[in-house]
Amino acid sequence: MAIEVKIPAVGESISSGVVSVWHKKSGDFVNAGDALFTLETDKVSTEITAETPGVLDTMVPEGQEVKIGEVVATIDDSKTAPAKSEPPERKAAPKKTEQKPAAASKEKSPTALSPAVRRIVEEERVETEKISGTGKDGRLTKGDVLAAAQNRKSVGEASFPGTATPSLTAAEDRQSADGRFTRKKMSPLRRKIAAQLVMAQHTAAILTTFNECDMTAVQELRAKSQEAFMKKNSVKLGFMSFFIKASVEALKTVPPVNGRIEDEDFIQNNFYDIGVAVGTDRGLVVPVVRDADKKSFADLELDIAGFATKAREGKLKIEDLQGGTFTISNGGVYGSLLSTPILNPPQSGILGMHKIMERPAAVNGKVEVRPMMYLALSYDHRAIDGKEAVGFLIKVKECIEDPKKLLLDF
């Protein structure tokens, strides 16, 4: 009997994805739990596995966009695994020395790669058989494939006008006749991100309001408490936990910022799941800190550190990224002084943090040099009035400039 393989629901607001790569081909026998293909959405890449053993028959090509619930393959569970796979193993078993090259080759195959490395291989179209792995037992690391991808790009840029670069194909990367530019097909994930950003701009009335805050009190408190905090919790006390706490207080003060528009209704969220943008070598992802209002500074910092590690290793799950009610993005870590962040649909608000810069400020009638940060709140003007947006930023500013307004549970 043919069992349908459908695109599963992978989170609210996600209606489609892209089949970026098939890990199994039509006619292959698959076991339950085998990775069939990678589904890329605007939020994360996830492997879809077989739920039953049988022979696979794929129905859509790589790179095609598919909708949630769409049938992309079938598995014939009436067929069993071919018996001929056993004899070669018995035959090769005594010759241990002859198996080593095959094993090394297997280590480099896409199915043996870690999720993070495999994603880079798929998106950059790196030929793994041409790379020497520097990891344990010759395994390929992220550094290996990123270096290979960069080397390929450098070769393409250095080619003479009109000459072909061996590692580039006409279907993927094409150089202009005069060599002044190279045309490269966007990865499926980048295409989805682009579409999501445009969708956010077209479906919400986005407006941004600004304020600034004096970081002196937080910096002094952080420096004073850092050593004891580290000893007690084995994690550093960062700035993000202060802004999460301050944002929760501001959301309680101005509830509409913690809501969303759904058709003709306004949904008011009475919980505080805060999305925190995390940078990776493949782009930004936004894992969600659940029930942030109920967590201590240590809990928040541990959550953030855990998400950063999972993001770097490519181990974030779709459930880590879905269901947020409000988002915080820190462009300051990249040196941004001011920006207008784009909403993360279906949310109605996003707070942008920026670089801490020493600037002249008026303090008690005198000019002093203080560490200042610009704050930006982008919001959906259909749901939130300007007065409410300004009130939100003022509350954040008050909590940061006077941290005693927060519950300091170091």
* CA atoms of 131 and 241, how far apart (whole Å): 41
112-136 burial: b if 16+ Cβ within 10 Å, else e: ebbebbbbbbbbbbbebeebebeee
Q: With a cut of 60, say whether residue 99 has pLDDT above it.
A: no
R_g of the chain, CA atoms, integer Å: 25
Greater confidence (188 vs 39) lies with 39
* pLDDT classification of 383: cutoffs 50, 70, 90: very high
Check if the beta carbon of residue 39 is closer than 8 Å to that of residue 19. Answer: yes
* pLDDT classification of 191: cutoffs 50, 70, 90: confident
Check if the beta carbon of residue 338 is closer than 8 Å to that of residue 210. Answer: yes
Q: Which residue has the tokens 């988002």?
A: 327
Token pair recorded at residue 214:
């004096």
Token pair recorded at residue 109:
């195959």
Beta bridge partners of 213: 373
Residue 46 CB contacts under 8 Å (≥ 6 apart), including other chains: 10, 38, 39, 317, 318
- pLDDT score, position 247: 98
- pLDDT score, position 123: 67
Q: Tens digits of per-residue pLDDT, 194-213? A: 887 898 899 999 999 999 99
Residue 106 CB contacts under 8 Å (≥ 6 apart), including other chains: 112
Q: Which residue has the tokens 């894992």?
A: 287
**For the chain, which domains are there?**
1-81 (2.40.50.100), 97-186 (4.10.320.10), 204-405 (3.30.559.10)
Give catalytic residue positions: 381, 385
Check if the beta carbon of residue 188 is closer than 8 Å to that of residue 283. Answer: no
Q: Rounded to an integer, what is the distance from CA 7 to the centroid of its chain?
A: 20
- pLDDT score, position 276: 96
Percent of the chain with pLDDT over 90: 55
Q: At what angle do helices 297-312 and 240-253 cross, to 10 degrees?
A: 120
Across 15-29, average pLDDT: 89
Q: Tens digits of per-residue pLDDT, 236-294? A: 999 999 999 999 999 999 999 999 999 999 999 999 999 999 877 766 788 999 999 99
Q: Rounded to an integer, what is the distance from CA 62 to the centroid of its chain?
A: 21
Token pair recorded at residue 62:
């790589």
* Ranges 130-144, 175-189, 315-329: which has the least confidence: 130-144
Which among 54-63, 137-146, 276-285 has the top mean pLDDT? 54-63
| Mean pLDDT value across the chain | 84
- pLDDT score, position 287: 93
3-state SS track over the chain:
CEEEEECCCCCCCCCEEEEEEECCCCCCEECCCCEEEEEECCCCEEEEECCCCEEEEECCCCCCEEECCCEEEEEECCCCCCHHHHHHHHHHCCCHHHHHHHHHHHHHCHHHCCHHHHHHHHHHCCCHHHCCCCCHHHCCCHHHHHHHHHHHHHHHHHCCCCCCCCCCCCCCEEECCCCCCEEECCCHHHHHHHHHHHHHHHHCCEEEEEEEEECHHHHHHHHHHHHHHHHHHCCCCCCHHHHHHHHHHHHHHCHHHHEEEECCEEEECCCCCEEECEEECCEEECCEECCHHHCCHHHHHHHHHHHHHHHHCCCCCHHHHCCCCEEEEEHHHHCCCCCCCCCCCCCCEEEEECCCEEEEEEECCEEEEEEEEEEEEEEECCCCCHHHHHHHHHHHHHHHHCHHHCCCCC
Q: Tens digits of per-residue pLDDT, 103-141? A: 444 444 444 677 667 767 766 767 777 787 777 677 787
Other Cβ atoms closer than 10 A to 229: 18
Greater confidence (96 vs 48) lies with 48
* Ranges 30-34, 158-162, 268-272: which has the least confidence: 158-162
Angle at CA of residue 119, ends 290 and 165, nearest 5°: 150
- pLDDT score, position 94: 53
Which among 12-21, 111-120, 347-356 has the top mean pLDDT? 347-356
Token pair recorded at residue 93:
């078993």
- pLDDT score, position 163: 36
Residue 86 CB contacts under 8 Å (≥ 6 apart), including other chains: none
Greater confidence (2 vs 165) lies with 2
Task: Output the pTM of the full model.
Answer: 0.68
- pLDDT score, position 134: 77
* CA atoms of 314 and 45, how far apart (whole Å): 9
Token pair recorded at residue 122:
């798929």
- pLDDT score, position 102: 44
Q: With a cut of 50, say whether residue 330 has pLDDT above it.
A: yes
Q: Tens digits of per-residue pLDDT, 78-92? A: 887 776 555 555 555
- pLDDT score, position 42: 66
Strands 326-330 and 274-276: parallel
**Distance of CA 251 to CAs 87, 151, 210, 311, 324, Å?**
65, 47, 17, 27, 13
Greater confidence (207 vs 154) lies with 207
